[in-house]
Amino acid sequence: MHDKTLAELATGLKTREFSSVELTHAYLNRIQRHQALNAYITVTEERALAQAQAADDRLAKGEGTALTGIPLAHKDIFCTLGIKTSCGSKMLDTFTAPYDATVVERLDQAGAVMLGKLNMDEFAMGSSNETSFYGPAHNPWNSECVPGGSSGGSAVAVAARLAAAATGTDTGGSIRQPAAFCGITGLKPTYGRVSRYGMIAYASSLDQGGPMTRSAEDAAVLMQVMAGFDPKDSTSVALPVPDYRASLDDSLAGLKIGLPKQFFSDQLDSRIAKVIQDAIADYQKLGATIHDVSLPSLNLAIPAYYVIASAECSSNLSRYDGVRFGYRCQNPADLTDLYTRSRGEAFGAEVKRRILMGTYALSAGYYDAYYLKAQQVRRLIRDDFKRALTEVDVLMGPVTPGTAFKIGAKTADPLQMYLEDIYTIAINLAGLPALSLPAGFVEGLPVGLQVIGDYFAEARLLNIGHGYQQLTDWHLQAPVQPTQEDL
Amino acid sequence: MSLTTDDVKKIAHLARLGIVDQQMNDYARDLSAMLDLMAQMDNLDTTGILPMAHPMDQTQRLRPDSVTETNQREAFQAIAPQTEAGLYLVPKVIE
């Protein structure tokens, strides 16, 4: 049951092959058996079974949508009314959200069942899930390795079949990199396509929610419900949402693929390069043509990103003051002590680094040198992409410079961790959509292919992903499930 | 560019962020390394380039000036660390 696609599950539910309650129990049992993967921060068993019962009632009446009765899970960055929403931080360990995120509300209305809340890097700051207050989630392909981050728990849950699909968020690669490390499909939509309302903010001009699934087709099903204009999000874009499934089978003949030369430099592991080249050769079999393109400002994406993301983070996270919600220190001597100690005791090291960095970059006298400069570089990077995307339909390249690394291997040097996102970060700066597809393995660990499209070209990206997944079976590979005793 | 532990103390104060003394050196080292990384941007001439705030250069949407939110004080205060009579409690500010 847990190996079925979302479309197969929907058919099974509609034809009463199984009920949503049975399906939900099956997933809850799997979650229980694979606790050692640490994918979930909170399992909402009671609520899930109540939602499943309601879904079964709805289905019995012949009502329901493509997601009614299907068990999903949310990254713990999405606010869920009355349920702990931790954002992977001690700061919000006792926080119960007073409202639902729009993404959560939309999926609830579609009748999806929420199994629980998924592990993540603290406040989505990290590329390995190791900055989580709840400890790292483990990669199901090798439990000694990281699952990537920040949506690490989401990637683990989908890869290990602990949820039929999951939500994630991507500020600098946080959907695509864990999707690549865990061998699943992840879509980072265009900035403004999916509502950010109720999605705990890290860097507001970069954050974007999206689906993490086992196939492009599943991503289309989830995206259909997640996407759309939301008046509660001031940066939400009011454009109609296309039918993402309708164009999945469109021909890829004549597709113009651009290969940015900066994506294939010496920094790329040659074994990963080989996987990507093979995938591109598969696209040529489907009728695509290959073109060289250049993104000359790309090398400045990481410095620009860490200025902008840190600056926005320091501003966003100033709301955690120990007064209105979240962690409060014991016996504060005065108001400054209350702020300082509450924040000092509840934020982890990576969050602190970025708050300090952002505070410095925005402090008097430094604004022009850092934030303004980074915003100018950001425009040059965006213009590079726009230029390239007038020459070709999509860009392709790797998602990550290597495969999943060992837990602890990169924690000593924060900068080394930042370089993990070298192929993903620029896309957030440009605000473009990008898809991560499983494209092969290196020494038993999955490798992801990245497909970058023009603004609001999600349907085309999913079509391109689906075409590849009709030709190959990388997305059907499942990790051998480690049992509790193995870990 | 290199930051000293005194610089870190100053920034931490601006951010109202408690950093324990033993970790000051680590933060000074890490932040200095981040600044070196950011200094790569200095080599690029950006004269006349308009800073980019939104990928589609979209401006903030306006809405009619009408009440859309209802008062949810009780729900919001239910999750506060300390409240009394509908007010948030903090240590005494004025003696």
A403 and A316, same structural domain?
A: no
pLDDT value at residue B58: 78
User: In which domain, by residue range, is A435 found?
Assistant: 6-255+395-486
The residues of A annotated with a catalytic role in the active site are 75, 150, 174
End-of-domain residue from the set A343, A374, A405: A374
Structure tokens at A282: 């598969």
- Residue A471 falls inside a structural domain: yes
Looking up residue A96, the CATH number of its domain turns out to be 3.90.1300.10
A321 and A459, same structural domain?
A: no
Touching B: A residues 179-198, CB under 8 Å: 190-192
- Residue A277 falls inside a structural domain: no
Across the interface, which of B3, B55, B88 has its CB nearest the CB of A324?
B88
Percentage above 90 pLDDT, chain A: 95
- B72 vs chain A: nearest CA distance in angstroms? 9
Domains held by chain A: number: 2
Nearest-Cα residue of chain A relative to residue B12: A356
Test B44 with A377 for CB contact under 8 angstroms.
yes
C-beta of residue A85 within 8 angstroms of C-beta of residue A78: yes
Residues from chain A contacting residue B54 (CB–CB below 8 Å): 191, 205, 235, 431
Residues from chain A contacting residue B73 (CB–CB below 8 Å): none
End-of-domain residue from the set A374, A406, A421: A374
Percentage above 70 pLDDT, chain A: 99
A416 and A318, same structural domain?
A: no
Count other Cβ atoms within 10 Å, centred on residue A472: 16
**B30 touching A, CB under 8 A?**
yes
A347-375: pLDDT as tens digits: 999 999 999 999 999 998 999 999 999 99
> Per-residue pLDDT for B23 more than 70?
yes
- Residue A1 falls inside a structural domain: no
Residues from chain B contacting residue A415 (CB–CB below 8 Å): 30, 33-34, 37
CA dist A21 and A147 (Å) reads 29
Looking at per-residue pLDDT, the higher value among A453 and B1 belongs to: A453
Test A98 with B72 for CB contact under 8 angstroms.
yes
- Residue A390 falls inside a structural domain: no
A63-108: pLDDT as tens digits: 999 999 999 999 999 999 999 999 999 999 999 999 999 999 999 9
Residues from chain A contacting residue B13 (CB–CB below 8 Å): 340
pLDDT value at residue A487: 39
CA dist A336 and A307 (Å) reads 27
Test A356 with B8 for CB contact under 8 angstroms.
yes
Confidence bin at A454 (pLDDT 50/70/90): very high
CA dist A264 and A273 (Å) reads 7
Using the CB atoms, write b or e for A75-109: b if 16+ within 10 Å.
Answer: bbbbbbbebbbbbbbbbbbebebbbbbbbbbbbbe
A164 and A80, same structural domain?
A: yes
A417-445: pLDDT as tens digits: 898 899 999 999 999 999 999 999 999 99
A401 and A370, same structural domain?
A: no
**B20 touching A, CB under 8 A?**
yes
A481 and A359, same structural domain?
A: no
β-sheet bridge partners, residue A452: A395, A434
Nearest-Cα residue of chain A relative to residue B27: A353
A185 and A150, same structural domain?
A: yes
- B31 vs chain A: nearest CA distance in angstroms? 7
Domain residues of chain B, as ranges?
5-42
Mean pLDDT across chain A: 96
Residues from chain A contacting residue B19 (CB–CB below 8 Å): 344, 352, 356
**A96 touching B, CB under 8 A?**
yes
**Predicted complex: ipTM over 0.90:** yes
Instruction: Give helix A349-362 / helix A301-316 axis angle, nearest 10°.
Output: 100
Count other Cβ atoms within 10 Å, centred on residue B37: 16
Confidence bin at A481 (pLDDT 50/70/90): low
Reference B33, options A67, A415, A94; nearest CA is: A415
Touching A: B residues 32-71, CB under 8 Å: 33-34, 37-42, 44, 46, 49-56, 58, 60-61, 63
Structure tokens at A450: 């990245």
A323 and A405, same structural domain?
A: no
B41-85: pLDDT as tens digits: 999 999 999 999 888 877 888 889 999 889 999 999 999 999 999
β-sheet bridge partners, residue A447: A440
C-beta of residue A399 within 8 angstroms of C-beta of residue A176: yes
Across the interface, which of B51, B78, B88 has its CB nearest the CB of A323?
B88
Taking CA atoms, A367 is separated from A299, A358, A373, A451, in Å, by: 22, 10, 8, 34
A234 and A327, same structural domain?
A: no
N-term to C-term CA, chain B: 43
> Per-residue pLDDT for A484 more than 70?
no
A20-79: pLDDT as tens digits: 999 999 999 999 999 999 999 999 999 999 999 999 999 999 999 999 999 999 999 999
